[in-house]
Structure formats: C-alpha cells, structure tokens
Structure 1
Amino acid sequence: MIIEKILNVDDYYYDVFMAISESLTGFSVNELQATGLAEIYYRHILTHIEAATFIEFLNISKNILENSYSRDQLKNAITAEIFSDPATQAIAQNVITLWYMGTWEGAYINDLSYKEGLVWTVMHAHPPGAKQPGFKSWNIKPVNSNS
C-alpha cells in the first residue's frame, strides 16, 4: 500500500489527494507540503468542482494506491484507470497543472502559488519578480551550461 497518513488536515481524503499528487507530479509528499500550498490546493479543488466528482476521483485513486505494490504497477494503474476516463483524466491534468504552474483553469490560486510552482524547481530557476536567486548568483554557471 502506497498511502501514508498525513497529519495536517483532518479529512481522510486529504491523505489520498497528497498520495496521488505525489504519483502524478513525481515530487514527494514532503516536497509538495514544503510549498506551503497543499491544504490550500485541496480546499480550492473542493470548492471549484462538484464534491461527488472529486470524491469519485479520490476513491479511484485510493484503490489504485492500495492495490499497487511497485512504482511500475502504480504507473500502469494510473494510466489505465485515471487517464483512460475523460472525467478523471481532466481532474488529474488539473491537479498536475495546479502543482506545476500554480493555476486552476488558467488563474493563479494566490501569489504564493506562482512563487512555489514546481515548474521553477524543474527548470532550476526562480520565478521572475517573486524570488530572487541570491547574492552573487550571477557568478555561478547555470545547470547544464556548456560554457
């Protein structure tokens, strides 16, 4: 079983949301929580899509997580059971976009969602105008620099 108990929110489905977010994004639950946005994102989704639809997505996710004993099994189950159904696929894609870009249906959730988008970590960059790279950062060669 791949679900671990998370103690921040008293809602059982929050744990499932975090576990499936980990699988969908490739970032650990700890890294996702370090953004400071996990609870905000969870509550935002609950207020922006029909609760029954989100609960169904989370129940499917829970079953996948409980019945997957390896990363390959998990990946295959997500592809077969979530990405094969247009309704759950749309939710999964919105969750991925939420974590990476900080947006839900094209709008930022808040100013922190822009700053903490996972896209900046993947690019080894900082969000322009929001987080500075640090003193003397210009002296450090960029990651994968050929110069």
Structure 2
Amino acid sequence: MIIDKVLNVDDYYYDVFMAISESLTGFSMNELQATGLAGTYYRHILTHIESATFIGFLNISKNILENSYSQDQLKNAVNAEVFSDPATEGIARSIITLWYMGTWEGAYINGLSYKEGLVWTVMHAHPPGAKQPGFKSWSVKPVNSNS
C-alpha cells in the first residue's frame, strides 16, 4: 500500500491528496511539503470545485494507492483509472499545473505559489524577480550547460 500519514493531519483526504500529488508530480511528499503550500493548495481546491467531485477523485485515488504495491503498479493504475476518465483527468491535470506553475485556472493562488512552483526546480532556475539565485551564482556554470 502506497500511502502514509502526513503531518498528523486529521483530514484523511489530505493524506490521499498528498500521496496522489506525489505520484502525479514525481516529487516526494517531503519536497511538496517543503513548498509550504500543501495545505493551501488542498483548501483552495476544496473551495474551487464541487466537494463531491473532488472527494470522488480522492476516493478513486485512495483505491489506487491502497491497491498498488510498487511504483510501476501505481503508475499503470493512475494511467488506466485517472487519465482515462475525462472527469478525473481534468482534476489530475489541474493538480499537476497547481504544483508546477502555482496556478489554478490560469491565476496564481498567492505570491508564494509563483515562487515555489516546481517548474523552477525542474529547470534548475529561480523565479525572476522573486527569489534570487544566491551570492556569486553568476560565476558558476549553469547545470546542464553545453557551453
């Protein structure tokens, strides 16, 4: 079973949200928690889509997580059960966008969501105008540089 209790939060669905977010993004729960936005994102989704729709998505996710015993099994189940149904596919894609870009339906959740978008980590970059790369970072060759 691929699901763990997260931060002793009483809302079981929060744990499911974090576990499925880990699967959808490819980032660990610790990395997602480190953004400081996990609770904010969870609450934002709850207030921006119908609760029954989101809970339905989380119940499907819960079943997938409970019945998967390897990462390959989990990946196949997510593809077969989440991405094959337009209703759950839309929510999954929105969750991915939320974590990577910090946006929900094209709008930033808050100022921190821009700074902490996973896209910056993937690009080995920093969000312009929001987070500086660090003192003397200009003197170090960029990661994956071909120059």
Q: Shorter-normalised TM-score: what interval?
A: over 0.9
1:71 corresponds in structure 2 to 71
What is the distance in 2 between the residues matched to 1:41 and 1:134? 28
Count of aligned positions: 147
1:49 corresponds in structure 2 to 49
1:5 corresponds in structure 2 to 5
Cα-to-partner distance string for 1:9-41 (whole Å, 9 max, x where unaligned): 321100000000000000000000000000000
2:15 corresponds in structure 1 to 15
What is the distance in 2 between the residues matched to 1:118 and 1:109? 14
Task: Mark the CA change 1:8 to 1:118 in structure 2 (over 3 Å): closer, same or farther.
Answer: farther
* Structure 2 unaligned blocks of 5 or more: none
Task: Mark the CA change 1:114 to 1:8 in structure 2 (over 3 Å): closer, same or farther.
Answer: farther
Superposed, 1:1-147 pairs within 5 Å as 1-7=1-7, 9-147=9-147
What is the distance in 2 between the residues matched to 1:86 and 1:69? 26
Contact 1:102 1:114 in 2 (8 A): yes
Cα-to-partner distance string for 1:70-107 (whole Å, 9 max, x where unaligned): 11110000000000000000000000000000000000
What is the distance in 2 between the residues matched to 1:100 and 1:51? 23
Contact 1:9 1:39 in 2 (8 A): no
**What root-mean-square deviation, in Å, do the aligned CA atoms of Structure 1 and Structure 2 show?**
0.7
Percent identity for Structure 1 against Structure 2: 87
What is the distance in 1 between the residues matched to 2:99 and 2:35? 9
Structure 1 segments of 4+ aligned residues over 6 angstroms from their partners:
none
TM-score by length of 1: 0.99
How big is the shift at 1:146?
1.9
Contact 1:101 1:118 in 2 (8 A): yes
What is the distance in 2 between the residues matched to 1:92 and 1:105? 13
